[in-house]
Amino acid sequence: MNDKYDWINDIYIYYRILDKINKQFKILLKTTDHEEIEEQFFYLCVDLLRLVPFKQNKENEKLTLIESDGICLLRKNIDFIMKDLNKILQENTATFIKIRKIRNKYEHEPHNVNGAFSTGHSSFSAMGFYCKTDLVTLNSMELTYIIYDLNKLMDKIEKKICKIQEKDFNELNIFNKDYITKIKEYKIIEYNKSYTIVPRNWFTVTRK
C-alpha cells in the first residue's frame, strides 16, 4: 500500500480538535452564565495548546514552537506550517503565556484555579482567574485572533490536500481518500464568517 500521503490521515485529528474549539468558542460568545463561561475558557485553554505546542524561555519570555510535538511533527509534509504557526504564536505572545498558565494550573492543580470574575454579553466574554494568588485575565477578543488565524491555516492545508487529490489521485490509498472526505466535511473556514475581528491597534492585550 502506498503510504506517501499518510500524513493526511495524521492531520485529520487536528481538524477534529479545531472544530471542537470553534464549537466551544461559539458557546462562550453566547452564554452569560458564570460557570459556563469559566468552563469554556478552561476547555479552550487546554485544546488551543494541543494545536500550538510551544516552550517559553524564562529569562526573556520568548516563545518558540516545539518541533517534536503535535502538529509540528508534520512540518516535512506541510512546508508552510511552521512559519504560519509561528506567526500566530508571535502575534499573540501575551495571550499564549496566559493560556498556558491557566491550562497548567487547571490540569495539575485544579483546586488552585478559581474564577475571580466573569462577564458575558452579545459576542464578548471575559474571565479573571486566580492561579493560586496571581490574577490572570482572558477575554474572547484575544481568543478570536488566534482561532480565526488557526481556521485560515487549516483551510490553507485543506487546499493543499485538495490539490493532491486532484493531481495525484492514483497515489492516494483508500485510507487517504477516506480522511480527505472527512476533512472536507468540516468546512472549518466557515466559522470565520461569524467572528468579528477588530484591528489589533484598537485592542490592547494585557500581560495578566
Amino acid at 175: F
The 10s digit of each residue's pLDDT in 126-169 is 555 545 556 677 788 889 999 999 999 999 999 999 999 999 99
Residue 12 contacts residue 182 (beta carbons within 8 Å): yes
* 140-167 helix and 174-186 helix, angle to the nearest 10 degrees: 140
What does the mean pLDDT of the chain come to?
84
Amino acid at 150: L
pLDDT value, residue 133: 57
In contact, 82 and 75? CB cutoff 8 Å: yes
Give CA–CA dist 127/123, Å, rounded. 14
Q: Record the cell numbers describing residue 68, joined without a space.
A: 517534536
Phi first, then psi, for residue 66 (nearest 5°) are -95, 105
What SS3 state is found at 60? coil
Q: Which residue has the cell 516545539?
A: 66
pLDDT tens digits, 79-95: 999 999 999 999 999 99
> First and final CA of the chain: distance in angstroms?
51
Give the C-alpha separation, 136 to 169, whole Å: 49
